[in-house]
């Protein structure tokens, strides 16, 4: 398991080692890889990845085996720590224990002391969760901390139970029951950290006896006997025993909780929103973490989650403007890779490379980022191998999670990436059981290719064609920033040689992306003018239409795009110039936003420091207590400023975005 002599290639191959990216890479150097699909490193490293996958399996199961791992710490520590050694990282006691538990769990899979079937007791409940009818969507939620308690409850080296594929089909009620039990355990754990006054009630035995009797009929009676009967004889008895023990524990906890609730309801005047523990969890909408940076509780949760996934937590940099204190602000000089050992054993090197490319601004633009992401995921899937006793459909999704967290830490995910990830997770979890691993992997690769081709490449072509109808002879078209879709539209229109038009490129600091647009259009021979955004009132009287790209289209018709877009739309409206937005349907979001504050991205404030005549203006901004720099990335344009949205489904008004979303949901 330990790989101290790992292959020397670092995370981002072919470019500088991680230390060197601390410098600002030249942003507009022509040596930058072209926008769009990045070139990926050469051949995958199968043996290493397989090992990693095997390592990952116990890694993922860490929290589940937490209790058991504690017990097995006496195991060959050399073996376990050998694997855990290189992973220095943010190691806390709990984390260390998890890792070692993971490694130990991994070693357990090898010829274990208690015999071949000894790991089964720890695995058995999880295996139970696996087996079931297709349509395992709900079953994905099974992996919770609740497992830890159950493991703790299992006696070590219990009688062997059958391996995964032989376990019987769980009835639906049984699975529901399992899920509910786990949720209760989680809630109980959470509330344990709450007011300490309740802790006294936790150890109230007399109430336990009474409600237990009452609680007995509430537990579904059928599954109690059902699986017991249908189980294969080998481990049937012990399973039933374990289940009975577990159920007894559940009821005790439930009773305590109800007793506690009774106390609370007497004391408190407000009613609890959640009803009895047997009810399914209510659909409470939670704010995403990335807009709750000033909430310490949310940040602690995030830190814990990242620690569990072994992804380093990126620190914020510099004082933020008060209005945006709920957002992250990172420094480009401190990439995430400085906080982790390279090669990382948890994160695939292609993903590390991608994360660096995102955080350093090498890959920019929502289409480019999404394409790069999907290509890297294809590589991940290629290098993935299912650990034994795991289902690909479930395990792969779990494996993807730390990578997604890592990428999120490098740079907040864009809407296009979010939709692509959602799609991929759905595809993975809908894989039929009957496929072999290589078949499944190939199917996933095909699915990803299809998504790329249809939603991005073909959509761009369709949009280009529709937009061509709107470009008339002798048009003056204004574009802003750098949008791959708009550039493609203009280049195609020029190539068709039917229309004579000229382009005004508007640019803004600090990104100066308009220069890239200018470069591309001039290369094709399109007549261009270049202005900065403060000059738009000057040029707009001669403009016939404005063509903009979008980062995302929100459900109320608002357009989320590079900062400066709403300004252009506003001034264009004042001059009665039609504003056209080009956006593929895969960027449509269910979110609703009416302003640019609630959810945005803060870029490195040091970008605003400008070097003029050898002097760095604003260079000492950090020392000045009353100076804050704000480098926003996105802004939101209200729908009444946009005249037309050109999508791959045709030309629609801004207000019809929810219709498209509805049609898409129906399709799926």
The contact set with other proteins (CB under 8 A) reads 470, 472, 545, 578, 580, 640, 643-644, 650-653, 655-656, 659-660, 663
Residue 377 CA to residue 45 CA, distance in Å, equals 15
Q: How far is the CB of 556 from other proteins (least distance, A)?
A: 11
With H, G, I as helix, E, B as strand and everything else as coil, classify residue 384. Answer: coil
Closest distance to other proteins from the beta carbon of 486 (Å): 16
Exposed/middle/buried for residue 279 (C-beta within 10 Å: 0-12, 13-18, 19+): exposed
DSSP string over 253-284? HHHHHHHHHHHHHHH-SSPPSS--TTSPPP--
Cis ω for the linkage preceding 510 (within 30 of 0): yes
CB of 545 vs other proteins, minimal distance in Å: 7
589/204 Cα distance (integer angstroms): 49
Nearest CB to other proteins, comparing residues 609 and 652:
652
Task: Give least dist CB 521 to other proteins, A.
Answer: 22
Q: Is 314 exposed, middle or buried (0-12, 13-18, 19+ CB in 10 A)?
A: buried
State residue 502 phi and psi, 5-degree precision. -130, 160
Q: Annotate 249-275 with b (16+ C-beta within 10 A) or e (fewer).
A: bbbbbbbbbbbbbeebeeeeeeeeeee
156 or 640: whose CB is closer to other proteins?
A: 640
CB of 653 to other proteins, least distance (A): 5
Among residues 137 and 655, whose Cβ is nearest to other proteins? Answer: 655
E-state strands within 515-643: 527-532, 545-549, 552-553, 559-562, 579-582, 610-612, 615-617, 634-637
* Beta carbon nearer to other proteins, 185 or 464: 464
Of 414 and 656, which has the nearer Cβ to other proteins? Answer: 656
Backbone angles phi, psi at 576, to 5 degrees: 60, 35
Question: Which is it for strands 650-652 and 634-637: parallel, antiparallel or unpaired?
Answer: unpaired
Smallest separation (angstroms) from other proteins to the CB of 557? 9
Residues pairing with 548 in the sheet = 581
Please, which residue, 339 or 556, has the CB nearer to other proteins?
556
DSSP string, 354-373: HHHHHHTTSS-SHHHHHHHH
Nearer to other proteins among residue 392 and residue 548 (C-beta): 548
* Nearest-approach distance from CB 245 to other proteins, in angstroms: 57
Cβ within 8 Å of residue 580, ≥6 positions away: 467, 470, 545, 546, 547, 548, 642, 643, 644, 645, 646
Closest separation between CB of residue 654 and other proteins, Å? 9
Shortest spacing between CB 469 and other proteins, in angstroms: 9
Sort strands 615-617 and 610-612 into parallel, antiparallel or unpaired: antiparallel
Closer of 461 and 640 to other proteins (Cβ): 640
Nearest approach, Cβ of 580 to other proteins (angstroms)? 8
Q: How far is CA 650 from CA 386, 457, 465, 469, 477, in A?
A: 42, 16, 10, 12, 20
Closest approach of other proteins to the CB of residue 656, in Å: 4
**Which tokens go with 348?**
């695939």
Give the residue with the Cβ less far from other proteins, 105 or 639. 639
Nearer to other proteins, 342 or 570 (CB): 570
What is the per-residue burial (b if ≥16 Cβ within 10 Å, else e) of 560-574?
A: bbbbbbbbbbebbbe
Nearest to 556, CA basis, from 510, 507, 591, 514: 591
CB of 471 to other proteins, least distance (A): 11
Which CB atom, from 358 or from 588, has the smaller least distance to other proteins? Answer: 588
Query: For residues 121 and 639, which CB has a smaller minimum distance to other proteins in the complex?
Result: 639
Q: Tokens 């707009």: give the residue.
A: 540
DSSP 329: B
């Amino acid at each position: 398991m330990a790989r101290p002599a790992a292959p020397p290639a670092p995370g981002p191959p072919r470019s500088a080692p991680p230390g060197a990216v601390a410098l600002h890479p030249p942003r507009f150097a022509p040596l930058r890889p072209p926008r769009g699909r990045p070139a990926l490193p050469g051949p995958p490293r199968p043996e290493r990845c397989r090992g990693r996958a095997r390592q990952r399996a116990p890694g993922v199961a860490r929290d589940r085996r937490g209790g058991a791992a504690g017990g097995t710490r006496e195991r060959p520590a050399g073996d376990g720590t050998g694997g855990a050694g290189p992973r220095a990282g943010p190691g806390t006691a709990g984390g260390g224990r998890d890792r070692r538990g993971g490694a130990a769990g991994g070693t357990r899979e090898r010829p274990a002391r208690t015999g071949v079937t000894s790991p089964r007791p720890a695995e058995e409940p999880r295996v139970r969760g696996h087996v079931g009818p297709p349509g395992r969507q709900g079953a994905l939620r099974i992996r919770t901390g609740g497992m830890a308690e159950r493991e703790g409850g299992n006696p070590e080296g219990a009688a062997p139970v059958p391996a995964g594929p032989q376990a019987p089909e769980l009835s639906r009620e049984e699975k529901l029951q399992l899920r509910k039990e786990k949720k209760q355990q989680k809630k109980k754990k959470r509330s344990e950290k709450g007011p300490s006054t309740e802790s006294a009630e936790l150890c109230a035995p007399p109430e336990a006896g009474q409600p237990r009797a009452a609680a007995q009929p509430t537990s579904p009676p059928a599954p109690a006997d059902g699986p017991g009967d249908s189980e294969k004889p080998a481990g049937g008895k012990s399973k039933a025993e374990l289940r009975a023990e577990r159920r007894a524990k559940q009821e005790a906890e439930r009773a305590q909780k109800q007793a506690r609730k009774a106390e609370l309801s007497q004391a408190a005047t407000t009613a609890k929103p959640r009803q009895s523990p047997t009810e399914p969890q209510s659909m409470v909408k939670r704010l995403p973490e990335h807009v709750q940076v000033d909430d310490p509780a949310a940040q602690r949760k995030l830190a814990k989650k990242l620690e569990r996934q072994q992804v380093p937590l990126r620190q914020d940099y510099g004082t933020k403007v008060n209005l945006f204190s709920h957002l992250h602000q990172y420094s480009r000089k401190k990439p995430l890779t400085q906080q982790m050992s390279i090669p990382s054993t948890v994160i695939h090197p292609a993903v590390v490379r991608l994360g660096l490319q995102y955080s350093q601004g090498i890959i920019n633009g929502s289409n480019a980022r999404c394409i790069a992401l999907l290509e890297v995921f294809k590589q991940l899937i290629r290098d993935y191998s299912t650990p034994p006793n795991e289902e690909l459909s479930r395990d792969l999704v779990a494996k993807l999670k730390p990578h997604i967290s890592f990428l999120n830490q490098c740079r907040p995910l864009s809407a296009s990436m979010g939709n692509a990830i959602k799609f991929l997770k759905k595809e993975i979890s809908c894989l039929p059981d009957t496929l072999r691993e290589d078949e499944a992997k190939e199917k996933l690769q095909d699915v990803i290719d299809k998504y790329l081709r249809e939603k991005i490449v073909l959509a761009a072509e369709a949009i280009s064609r529709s937009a061509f109808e709107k470009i008339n002879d002798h048009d003056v078209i204004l574009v802003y920033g750098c949008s791959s879709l708009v550039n493609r539209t203009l280049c195609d229109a020029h190539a068709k040689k039917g229309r004579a038009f000229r382009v005004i490129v508007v640019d803004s600091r600090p990104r100066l992306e308009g220069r890239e647009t200018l470069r591309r259009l001039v290369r094709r021979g399109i007549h261009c003018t270049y202005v900065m955004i403060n000059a738009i009132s000057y040029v707009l009287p001669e403009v016939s239409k404005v063509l903009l790209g979008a980062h995302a289209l929100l459900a109320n018709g608002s357009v989320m795009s590079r900062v400066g877009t709403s300004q252009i739309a506003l001034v264009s409206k004042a001059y009665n110039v039609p504003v056209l937005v080009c956006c593929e349907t895969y960027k449509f979001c269910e979110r609703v936003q009416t302003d640019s504050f609630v959810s945005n991205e803060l870029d490195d404030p040091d970008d605003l420091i400008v070097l003029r005549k050898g002097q760095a203006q604003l260079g000492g901004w950090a020392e000045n207590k009353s100076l804050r720099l704000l480098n926003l990335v996105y802004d939101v344009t209200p729908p009444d400023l946009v005249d037309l949205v050109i999508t791959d489904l045709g030309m629609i008004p801004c207000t019809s975005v929810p219709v498209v979303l509805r049609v898409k949901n129906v399709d799926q």
